[in-house]
Amino acid sequence: MKRTSFLLSLCLAGFIFILLPHHEASAAQIGIGTEKTIVQNPLEMKRQAAQEKRERAEAKKQVRLKAIAKQKAEVEHKAAKEDAKKKARHVVKQSLKQVKTERSAKRTETFETTAYTTNPENNGSRLYNGRALTASGYDVTNTITYEGRRIVAVDPSVVPLGTKVHVDGFGDAIALDTGGAIRGKIMDLLVGSKQEALEWGRRQVTVTFE
């Protein structure tokens, strides 16, 4: 009986020993099979790297192009300003040249000049209803200019009333008055005070007719 039990135990142990390696192998195989390893394709990695390199190069190129365009615009703007200044200077120069040419082409004569005021006590004239009027009817009670020009008295047979002239040392003027003592090439200049008239005195000046 004991021998039989021993043999059965021995057989059972052998059977378990035989089965045990196969079970462990299966478990090992299952373990290996369940592991997942992700390996990226080397060619795909190279393609992505090349694409990123191209994108970086393109971005740098766009930055350079923008900088060049900005610099070009600044240069063109500066050149346009300089060109505008040159044109403006040329226009002014031509205008001055034209004025000079026109003045040189205008008739000039030498006149004997004196000066007077609107005060009857100083010039022997008289007031009209308390107003000082020129021979042309212009009221000079409170002014000595007409449309920005000084007023002069002339001999109408030599210088017609309304004639515009430039009197050296006096300025642009217009003939709006006459006088009993003004005959021939004599011109009387209207000034603001007796002192100014005395300071002017009697002068020979060049008169340019416009």
Question: Could you read off the pLDDT of 154-192 as tens digits, one per residue?
Answer: 999 999 999 999 999 999 999 999 998 899 999 999 999
Three-class SS of the chain: CHHHHHHHHHHHHHHHHHHHHHHHHHHHHHHHHHCCCCCCCHHHHHHHHHHHHHHHHHHHHHHHHHHHHHHHHHHHHHHHHHHHHHHHHHHHHHHHHHHHHHHHHCCEEEEEEEEECCCHHHHCCCCECCECECCCCCECCCCCEECCEEEEECCCCCCCCCCEEEECCCEEEEEEECCCCCCCCEEEEECCCHHHHHHHCCEEEEEEEC
pLDDT tens digits along 120-154: 776 656 777 778 899 999 999 999 999 999 999 99
Is the pTM higher than 0.85? The answer reads: no
Q: Among residues 87, 105, 123, which one ends one of the domains? A: 105
Domain ranges, residue 187: 107-209
Same domain, 120 and 189: yes
pLDDT tens digits along 106-118: 899 999 999 999 8
The answer to whether residue 21 sits within a structural domain is no
The answer to whether residue 20 sits within a structural domain is no
Q: How many domains does the chain have?
A: 2
Instruction: Judge whether residue 20 has pLDDT over 90.
Output: no
Distance separating alpha carbons of residues 193 and 210, to the nearest angstrom = 27
Predicted confidence at residue 128, as pLDDT, reads: 75
CATH of residue 113's domain is 2.40.40.10
Predicted confidence at residue 91, as pLDDT, reads: 77
Q: Rounded to the nearest 5 degrees, what angle is found at the Cα of 26, between the Cα atoms of 24 and 28?
A: 70
Q: Among residues 80, 105, 130, which one ends one of the domains? A: 105
pLDDT tens digits along 40-79: 688 888 888 889 989 999 999 999 898 998 888 888 888 8
